[in-house]
Amino acid sequence: MSATLRDIAAATGLSVTQVSRALNDHDDVSVETKIRAREAARALNYRPNLSARRLASGRSGIVGLVLPPQDRTPRDSMFVQMVRGLSGAFSRRGRLFVLHAAEDGEDMVSVHQRLIDGGSLDGFVLIEPEHGDPRVAYLQKRGVPLVMHGRGAPRPDYPFFDIDNVAVGRELTAILLRAGHERIGFVNGIASTCYAAHRREGWDTALRVAGLAVDPALHEHGQMTESVGALATLRMMGGDGPRPTALIAGNMLLAKGIYSALAMLGLKVPGDVSVVAHDDMLPGEDLMSLPPTSGTRAALEQSWEPLADALIGAIEGRPVTQLQQVGGFEIVEAGSVAPPG
Amino acid sequence: MSATLRDIAAATGLSVTQVSRALNDHDDVSVETKIRAREAARALNYRPNLSARRLASGRSGIVGLVLPPQDRTPRDSMFVQMVRGLSGAFSRRGRLFVLHAAEDGEDMVSVHQRLIDGGSLDGFVLIEPEHGDPRVAYLQKRGVPLVMHGRGAPRPDYPFFDIDNVAVGRELTAILLRAGHERIGFVNGIASTCYAAHRREGWDTALRVAGLAVDPALHEHGQMTESVGALATLRMMGGDGPRPTALIAGNMLLAKGIYSALAMLGLKVPGDVSVVAHDDMLPGEDLMSLPPTSGTRAALEQSWEPLADALIGAIEGRPVTQLQQVGGFEIVEAGSVAPPG
DNA sequence: TTGCCAAACCGAAACGCTTCGGGCAAGCCT
DNA sequence: AGGCTTGCCCGAAGCGTTTCGGTTTGGCAA
């Protein structure tokens, strides 16, 4: 068995109360007492009993994420990376991160309810935001801290970490506009996701600002897989109207599909068609073979630390405005863009 | 807030003690009291507080799995499926299943230690067994229940669920021997894994029993990916000695690689080369395009329920011998085997 | 009648921690 | 000198549950 506070109290001659306060860094404990308590704790290999802590304070030090029930295989690899990232980030902050997969027919809200009622979780990381997200509504009603990866509104009233996807869409389009393109196709992510909608909005406004017409035939939503990218490209390039002279890919997998479709059509990049893409920099997707591609770039794995910070901040009761962060992105020039032929 | 035992006691006129015993189905509570307590519990939407339970009884109702730190992308999809399966299986049994990803440089044993000392987990599901597994040694020493997916020895002293991989190797080989093949190649999984070793053993003994020489050049270990399968095939078919007339694939992804390598070499299945494979029946790996392949078949997803049962059995103190289960497999005939040409 | 037993129940202690409300010095102000 | 603050500390209560030991019944045998 692990040592308890009482053991440390006995070893140091302090009271249990004071040891608790010392280890939790309260401010009416003298510095030397804190040191003494900490040393004894380490010597005795003390680990706080999370259940007892939770029972006494209402905090367990455990945070969780509920994996949505749909199984979309292409995302699996990303989920694992996310779990790894969050697990590490919380671990470094002395918290335990825990993943629970919703069952297939199960309602997301009731899964959260079950976890809260069990009395073991301090807060949640949410992914895949929706407009008017019911999970958010429920958790807010119950006063349970949360942080969202992404956001369901331009200016939500809950903590989140997101990148400015409107700007991503705008900048991707702007790169091509600056090179002189006027017919710009966009192979975007799944229609129902917020980030895809934001990027579309960016594309849309960039075109309008440039005084160009927005042709819905030049926009495709879909899963971010190679085949979807290829199919969308074939459809756009084989349409009746004038072909696009440039394409935007929502991520590198879509870009890969675009490249193979263009190769199949005998079109060269950037000679015949320019290509830009947003790169999440997910490792291990074996995209070495892709030609260098201009566009925007924001490492998804840089989300985990801010998310962890924001959730812990929420648990500790910091105001929401301090817990909303928008990450940056880079614009890279790699030679996949040229003026229209 | 959720109702507590005291609320139920107040509502029913019973004592807290008796309500607790009633809800936990102890045997010195009258049937009608049990019913009364259960009804009140439901009416008040009572959820036991896991932290309090854990503190009092030493059981939290939470079990976990620690994801090994290496990131082997081809397995990610399987991990997600496993997490889903286990999460559901434990959920159905009133337990909470929880996943914790080990950090990259982190020692597996110390991760388990941290989780146990935190006092929140009742037991662990272990995956990827090793010979003399240090996790098992540690958990057994601390008296923490565990169940292994697979096994590190033919007859381990801990609970496990596994299929008879020696028999899988033997049967795959036997199918080909019966058709008259004598030079049989085996494209197997990673060398360090137990199941691959077991299958190799089955192949080996089947050959020996048939009075045939065992040629190590006809056995390849590697990741279970399409490219590994293709490369192994090219190597075996291009060797100096006599070519194999039949190939065994460790799973369907390897089989896919074998098929494309054979096609590249202009060899027909089963006319020129026979192929058998073991099929884990993992969904979503888009193997529709594969020709029907004879061999063995055991759905990996049938492991989750037995694993959950075994771990709960271990937690409840049932003897180890009742907690060791070997799942079956099918032998399927699909036309990818013919006598050697 | 008395004594005994089993069935059904209950009070109180315990689990390890946090926190509320206070106590005791020592130093400062007026 | 009396009263206040400040810094450090402690006892005890309480979180919601399980469980140990004991008490109250009613029935049955002696």
Same domain for B265 and B172, yes or no, is yes
CA→C1' distance for B95 and C8 (Å): 30
Q: What is the pLDDT of residues A179-190, one digit of tens each?
A: 999 999 999 999
Dist. CA A188–CA A276, nearest whole Å: 12
**Per-residue flag: A116 CB under 7 A of strand D:** no
Domain assignment present for A40: yes
Same domain for A257 and A322, yes or no, is no
Domain assignment present for B336: no
Average the pLDDT over A219-225 and give the result. 92
Res A113: pLDDT: 87
Binding-face residues of B in 67-96 toward A, CB within 8 A: 67, 71, 73, 76-77, 79-81, 83-84, 87-88, 91, 96
Measured CA to C1', what is the nucleotide nearest B5? D16
pLDDT over 80 at A75, yes or no:
no
Measured CA to C1', what is the nucleotide nearest A9? D10
Domain assignment present for A334: no
Domain assignment present for B332: no
Nearest Cα of chain B lies from the Cα of A276 at a distance, in angstroms, of 26
Q: Which of A46, A53, A117 to mutate to test the interface with B (most CBs of B within 10 A)?
A: A117
DSSP letter at B105 equals T
**Per-residue flag: B6 CB under 7 A of strand D:** yes
Same domain for B110 and B153, yes or no, is yes
Res A265: pLDDT: 94
Res A97: pLDDT: 86
Nearest Cα of chain A lies from the Cα of B79 at a distance, in angstroms, of 8
Q: If you average pLDDT over every residue of chain A, what do you get?
A: 91
* Lowest pLDDT segment from A8-22, A70-84, A189-203, A313-327: A70-84
> What's at A328, amino acid-wise?
G
Dist. CA B318–CA B217, nearest whole Å: 46
Chain B partners within 8 Å of A84 (Cβ): 67, 71, 101, 103
Token reading at A40: 């004894």
* Lowest pLDDT segment from A273-282, A298-307, B59-68, B153-162: B59-68
- Which phi and psi (to 5°) does residue A151 adopt? -155, 150
Dist. CA A300–CA A267, nearest whole Å: 31
Token reading at B248: 């065994």
User: With an 8 Å Cβ cutoff, are A47 and B120 in contact?
Assistant: no
CA→C1' distance for B56 and D25 (Å): 30
Domain assignment present for B13: yes
Q: Contact B22/B37 with Cβ under 8 angstroms?
A: yes
pLDDT over 80 at B181, yes or no:
yes
Chain A partners within 8 Å of B79 (Cβ): 76, 80
Dist. CA A130–CA A124, nearest whole Å: 16
Res B115: pLDDT: 83
pLDDT over 90 at A332, yes or no:
yes
Q: How confident is the model at residue A229 (pLDDT cuts 50, 70, 90)?
A: very high
* Lowest pLDDT segment from A224-228, B57-61, B87-91, B115-119: B115-119
* Lowest pLDDT segment from A36-50, A54-68, A278-292: A278-292
Res A58: pLDDT: 82
Helices (H) and strands (E) in chain B, counts: 12, 12
Domain residue limits at B44? 5-48
The DSSP string of B146-176 is EEEES-SSSS-SS-EEEE-HHHHHHHHHHHH
Protein-covered nucleotides on strand C (Cβ within 7 A): 7-12, 14-20, 22
Q: Percent of chain A scored above 90 by pLDDT?
A: 70
DSSP reduced 3-state for B99: strand
Containing B228, the helix (H) or strand (E) segment is helix B226-237
Token reading at A221: 């939503």
Token reading at B243: 């070519």
Res A240: pLDDT: 76
Q: Contact A196/A188 with Cβ under 8 angstroms?
A: yes
Nearest to A77 among B77, B91, B97 (CB): B77
CA→C1' distance for A55 and D19 (Å): 19
For residue B111, give the CATH number of its domain: 3.40.50.2300
Same domain for A91 and A22, yes or no, is no
Task: Establish if A60 touches chain B: CB-CB under 8 angstroms.
Answer: yes
Same domain for B179 and B228, yes or no, is yes
Average the pLDDT over B96-108 and give the result. 83
Same domain for B264 and B179, yes or no, is yes
- Which residue gives the smallest C-alpha to C1' distance to C12? B17
User: With an 8 Å Cβ cutoff, are A51 and B103 in contact?
Assistant: no
Chain centroid to CA B106: how far? 23
Res A161: pLDDT: 98
Res A287: pLDDT: 67
Chain B partners within 8 Å of A61 (Cβ): 118
User: With an 8 Å Cβ cutoff, are A99 and B96 in contact?
Assistant: no
DSSP reduced 3-state for B249: strand
Domain assignment present for A249: yes
Q: Percent of chain B scored above 90 by pLDDT?
A: 68
> What's at B228, amino acid-wise?
V
Residue B44 CB neighbours (<10 A): 15
Res A71: pLDDT: 59
CA→C1' distance for A96 and D13 (Å): 29
Q: What is the pLDDT of residues B15-71, one digit of tens each?
A: 999 999 999 999 889 999 999 999 999 999 898 988 898 889 888 788 999 988 775
Q: What is the pLDDT of residues A110-129, one digit of tens each?
A: 889 888 877 778 899 999 99
User: With an 8 Å Cβ cutoff, are A60 and B91 in contact?
Assistant: no
User: With an 8 Å Cβ cutoff, are A119 and B49 in contact?
Assistant: yes
Res B96: pLDDT: 83
Closest CA to A78 of A189, A185, A229: A189
Q: How confident is the model at residue A285 (pLDDT cuts 50, 70, 90)?
A: low
Average the pLDDT over A191-200 and give the result. 95
Res B145: pLDDT: 94
Dist. CA B87–CA A83, nearest whole Å: 15
Dist. CA A134–CA B68, nearest whole Å: 34
Q: What is the pLDDT of residues B251-290, one digit of tens each?
A: 999 999 999 999 999 999 999 999 999 999 987 666 677 8
Closest CA to B326 of B296, B295, B303: B303
Nearest to A99 among B54, B73, B99 (CB): B99
Q: Percent of chain B scored above 70 by pLDDT?
A: 96
Domain assignment present for B195: yes
Same domain for B158 and B170, yes or no, is no
Dist. CA A231–CA A257, nearest whole Å: 8
Q: How confident is the model at residue B305 (pLDDT cuts 50, 70, 90)?
A: very high
Task: Establish if A52 touches chain B: CB-CB under 8 angstroms.
Answer: yes
Res B74: pLDDT: 56
Dist. CA B267–CA B260, nearest whole Å: 10
Average the pLDDT over A163-167 and give the result. 97
Same domain for B145 and B90, yes or no, is yes
Binding-face residues of A in 97-116 toward B, CB within 8 A: 97-101, 103-104, 114-115
Res A286: pLDDT: 64
Same domain for A91 and A151, yes or no, is yes
Number of domains in chain A: 3
User: With an 8 Å Cβ cutoff, are B51 and A62 in contact?
Assistant: no
pLDDT over 80 at B117, yes or no:
no
Res A74: pLDDT: 56
CA→C1' distance for B30 and D28 (Å): 21
Same domain for A155 and A94, yes or no, is yes
User: With an 8 Å Cβ cutoff, are A114 and B51 in contact?
Assistant: no
Among chain B residues, CA nearest to A52: B55
**Where are the strands (E) in chain A, listed by range?**
62-67, 96-101, 123-127, 146-149, 160-163, 184-187, 219-220, 246-249, 274-279, 294-297, 324-327, 330-332
- Which phi and psi (to 5°) does residue B181 adopt? -75, 150
Same domain for A264 and A239, yes or no, is yes
Domain assignment present for B245: yes
Task: Establish if A50 touches chain B: CB-CB under 8 angstroms.
Answer: yes
CA→C1' distance for B179 and D2 (Å): 109
**Per-residue flag: B5 CB under 7 A of strand D:** yes
Nearest to A51 among B55, B98, B101 (CB): B55
Q: What is the pLDDT of residues A24-44, one digit of tens each?
A: 999 889 999 999 999 999 999
Q: Contact B117/B96 with Cβ under 8 angstroms?
A: no
User: With an 8 Å Cβ cutoff, are A55 and B51 in contact?
Assistant: yes
Res B286: pLDDT: 65
Token reading at A174: 């702007």
Res A121: pLDDT: 86
Among chain A residues, CA nearest to B79: A80
Per the model's pLDDT, the better-predicted residue between B102 and A16 turns out to be A16
User: With an 8 Å Cβ cutoff, are B117 and A285 in contact?
Assistant: no
Same domain for B182 and B284, yes or no, is yes
